[in-house]
A and B are shown apart, each in its own frame.
Chain A
């Protein structure tokens, strides 16, 4: 059973690695592009860029990482107050 599962897992990984370049070349449009924006454009409504543009790629990832780290630290530091409440903690 264990060996069969390992072989199956290996096959899935190999197949997906082999298919990755093809998948990368082939565009998988999101349903917003394929349906929402397309039909809106046909009816004269064009999507606009976001009102706030925070960029893409590493900067955005870094901001998310930073926000996650700060938020996680604050939530962890205040965990007992969050879960038990300040009143109970004082008691």
Chain B
């Protein structure tokens, strides 16, 4: 056991200690025109309100729901701040964490935790921006959470194992986030250019970095979900992973 720790440490230490600049993947301040800023704020708002109502409803039944959502928000914040270099692309980016949040808390609360993480990043880390917060919330929170949750539930209903379904949730959430970013970027900056060629260009530019990072995010999600399932099944009783109660006769 001890030598495994040495091995893990030797892999993680260089990643932490190696000098590297930190970069974000969110849409930066000022890139979207004001009209599109309003559109994406308006598009994200109902999902955020739904998530907040869901949080209030759950915490009325189980008061520990809020600390759990807070801890997942902290995890999403840290995961989405973690720059990962992708040597084959020569760039770096980071996972989103919303697939994990959607699996653990459900997609509506996934939007809430993404909103908190994105707000702190925009305020203090210059990741994303306040004007582009709505757009970034729509891609990472709404598209990431719902796509990840749909993948998870879909695979589970087909009889897939927990780890495989969690892997797919992380992978699909990551790719959906970047697909959404390409869509929002193309719609916002195209001017008089046609939409689809620009969308394809942006989406293709994301591929070399996000293709492997999506796989990494799937692995992180699968690892964390299966670890929680094995070590703290009591925590999962409060999450979207809890077995559904049979309906009363």
Contacts and interface: CB of A to CB of B under 8 A. Distances in A.
Contacts of A34: 91, 205, 209
Contacts of A70: none
A29 to B, nearest CB: 5
Interface residues of A: mostly helix, strand, loop or mixed?
helix
Given A27-B21, A34-B91, A63-B124, A20 B206 contact: no
B3 A24 contact: no
A1 B123 CA distance: 48
Given A12-B10, A28-B92, A85 B63 contact: yes
A90 interface: no
Given A36-B25, A37-B31, A63-B124, A31 B93 contact: yes
B18 A30 contact: no
B14 A39 contact: no
A30 B31 contact: no
A50 B25 CA distance: 15
A73 to B, nearest CB: 15
B66 A13 contact: no
Given A28-B90, A39-B205, A51-B130, A6 B6 contact: yes
A65 interface: no
Contacts of B181: 36
B19 interface: yes
Interface in B96-150: 122-126, 129-131
Q: In the complex, which range does the number of interface residues on chain A fall in? A: 35 or more
A54 B124 contact: yes
B206 A35 contact: yes
Contacts of A39: 185, 189, 198, 201-202, 205
Nearest to B125: A60
A6 B13 CA distance: 15
Q: Which of B11, B28, B126 has the most CB of A within 10 A?
A: B28
A40 to B, nearest CB: 5
B19 to A, nearest CB: 4
Contacts of B202: 35, 39
12 contacts: A20-B19, A30-B23, A31-B23, A32-B27, A34-B91, A37-B28, A44-B191, A45-B189, A50-B122, A64-B124, A83-B63, A84-B64
